[in-house]
Each structure stands twice: as structure tokens, then as C-alpha cells.
Amino acid sequence: MVTTHVFIAASLDGYIARQDGDIGWLLQRDEPAEDHGYAAFIAGKDWIVMGRGSYEKVLTFDEWPYDLPVLVLSRQLADSPVPEALKGKVHFSRRTPKEVMNDLAAQNAHRVYLDGGQLIQSFLREGLVADIVVTTVPVLLGSGKPLFGPIPQDIDLTLLSSRSFPSGLVQSHYRVNN
Ligand SMILES: NC(=O)c1ccc[n+]([C@@H]2O[C@H](COP(=O)([O-])OP(=O)(O)OC[C@H]3O[C@@H](n4cnc5c(N)ncnc54)[C@H](OP(=O)(O)O)[C@@H]3O)[C@@H](O)[C@H]2O)c1
């Protein structure tokens, strides 16, 4: 069985990036002395599924940060070759969330890290997210790329745990009651 898991940071007003994709407001809060649990989170995953927006941001980093295989969902990129340096590490697809779940099950995946606001929203709409860890950054951005968006009906969550850090970050872990 494949389950999908979200681990993401957002401003208090619910944005994961500014409208132009800038995440400087987040990186400048990065407190190396604080362990926000990312390493432990990713250690338990076997695939990453991300949207094109997140993939294009990661491409601007100094180096490719993931050891896990990454599936990038994108209509634009689906028919393009994966860059030479990322062959074997990255796969492009235009499959729907349900199809992706079936494909990953066929590949023997178990626990999948979902990343990207639009991508997470599409999996939430299909009832395909098991849990969400959201780390709230104490800043209001006013506008930007939202973590959550329109849904056809309420999605009930159960708070599993929450903690705060000296830097002011607040992290909450929710089970999604699909
Ligand atoms: N704060 C954080 O922790 C955090 C984490 C991750 C990302 N970010 C930031 O968030 C920004 C990207 O987020 P985003 O919400 O704009 O984009 P996203 O979800 O990463 O990517 C959206 C794109 O993915 C493609 N896509 C394919 N299948 C999809 C599906 N089922 N559902 C949704 N999209 C699908 C579409 O591209 P096509 O047009 O090619 O089909 C769509 O435009 C970046 O700036 C990144 O740096 C922040």
C-alpha cells in the first residue's frame, strides 16, 4: 500500500512562496541549530512526487538535494527529456494523482513525500494525502503561492502533535481523515 505525506513550511497567512517563487523569507529563518525533523521525515520515504513549480525551484539550488527518486508531474515537461545530470534520479509524467498512486504501487513504493502547493492541493482533492506536517513561519506575506486552495467539501484533520521552536517556528502534524 502506498501512502503520501506532506512536510512543508508556510507563512502564517498560508503561502509557501511569494508570487515570483521567492522563498528567501523562509531560507533566512533557517536556523541550523534547530532540528525541524526534515531529516527524520525524509529518511522514512522512498519516492518524492513534486509539481513543476517546485522542481524548477530546486533546479536553481547549487546541487540536486535528493537521494530519493523524484517524479515531477508536469504537462509541459512530460514530453521533454530529463536533463543529463538528473537521468535516473528524476522522471517526468503527466499522469493524474490516482494514476500516480497506482504506478508507484507497481514500483513497490510505500511512503511518498509530496511537495508543491498545487500538487498537494490536487492530491488532497482526490483524498490521497495521509498526513501533513506544516511548519508555520512567523511572517505575513500578504500574497503568494498558497499551500491550500479550493476544495469541493471540508477535509477533516486530526492534530497528532505540535511543537514550537526558539526561532518562532510552529510545527503541527495532522492526520487527514479521508
Ligand atoms: N515553503 C516550502 O516549504 C515549499 C515547498 C515546496 C515548494 N515551495 C515553493 O513553492 C513554489 C511552487 O509551488 P506551486 O504551488 O506553485 O507549484 P507546484 O505544485 O510545485 O507545481 C505546479 C505545477 O505542477 C504541474 N502539475 C502537474 N500535475 C499536477 C497536479 N496533479 N497538480 C498540480 N500541479 C500539477 C503543473 O505544471 P504544468 O503546467 O507543467 O502541467 C503546475 O503548474 C516554488 O516557488 C517553490 O520554491 C515551497
> Which DSSP helix (H) or strand (E) runs through 102?
helix 97-106
What is the percent of the chain where pLDDT is above 90?
A: 96
Q: How many residues does the chain have?
A: 178
Kindly give the distance from the C-alpha atom of residue 119 to the centroid of ligand 1, in angstroms, as a whole number: 6
In the Cβ-directed half-sphere of 105, how many Cα atoms lie within 13 Å?
9
Of the pLDDT bands very low, low, confident and very high (cuts 50, 70, 90), residue 11 is very high
What's the pLDDT tens digit per position in 14-39?
999 999 999 999 999 878 889 999 99
Nearest-CA residue for atom 48 of ligand 1:
16
Atom of ligand 1 nearest to the CA of 21: 45
Q: Which CATH architecture has domain 3-176?
A: 3-Layer(aba) Sandwich (3.40)
Task: State the sign of the Cα–Cα–Cα–Cα dihedral 145, 170, 73, 148.
Answer: negative
Which residue reads 504537462 in cell numbers? 75
What's the pLDDT tens digit per position in 58-99?
999 999 999 999 999 999 999 999 999 999 999 999 999 999
d(CA 154, CA 135): 21
Residues near ligand 1 (Cβ within 6 A): 8-10, 16-17, 21, 23, 26, 50-54, 57, 73-77, 97, 115-119, 122, 145
According to DSSP, the β-strands at 170-176 and 131-137 are antiparallel
Pocket test for ligand 1, best of 13, 16, 123, 171 (most atoms within 8 A of CB): 16
Atom of ligand 1 nearest to the CA of 147: 15
pLDDT at 162: 98
pLDDT at 29: 86
pLDDT at 39: 95
d(CA 110, CA 159): 23
pLDDT at 91: 98
Nearest-CA residue for atom 17 of ligand 1:
53
Contacts of 141 (CB under 8 A, 6+ apart): 11, 13, 15, 18, 25
